[in-house]
Structure 1
Amino acid sequence: MGSRGSFLESGGFSTPAKWHTVDYIEGIKVLAPKDPKASMNLPERSNTPGTSYLLYRKNGDFNQLRVFGEKRVPQFDIDYGIHNGKKSLHVHYYTDGVRGKNPNILRPGDALYEKYKVLFKETKQ
């Protein structure tokens, strides 16, 4: 798994791992920072093309899902947090490696919501 770092000749990323896998849900790695005082942000790159990483808050509530493409860069994030003054489940799409600032709200019935709903612990829609 990649961690904010440099690119290797072999095509991977090389830095000391800041994360460890604490679980798998539906084949998706649930990550936690190795340092309990570290910020709760998922890795910006992945060594495995087409993988996904999942992050829960310390209390067990859903925080973020990051889905990577075949080039190991993020395609989208699903977050549960505050946007425009309201707490919501929403998706940020990436364009050319840059995360979009204007997310789309996810609701039951939306394709992405239905695909990943088993992951959304303690989210209120």
Structure 2
Amino acid sequence: NGLGFATEGFDALGRARTSQTFFDPMTGAEVGKKPVNTVSVPRVDAGDETESQGPADLTRLIVASPKPSACLTRQYFRFTFGRIEDLDLDACALADVKAVVDEGQPLAQALKTLALSAAFRERSFDVE
């Protein structure tokens, strides 16, 4: 669990920790502690074996990946159109929004780009 191991330095409530406490499931008594190890290979991108030393490293790897901008583009498209994207029909609108995101422009510009696209302005609805 490369993504999970990177954040082992936090407990279930988000508090920093250096060890994990183990409890007896029957009595609830503490039975031991082990140091947490946040070193992992999160495989953010397929085939990537880059080691992560913890959450800051994991964040760096995620930001360096093309996945966040593609995910934002895809999810905003789905929200806006109320449907799954068709990569053949929607490629231009998706590419335009992704380009804005990849350039680091404000999120408002990405939202505006899709709202002003022909795909959004000229939608047709099938009536059965």
TM (norm. structure 2) is 0.24
- Highest CA radius of gyration, 1 or 2? 2
TM (norm. structure 1) is 0.24
* Larger strand fraction of residues: 1
* Larger helix fraction of residues: 2
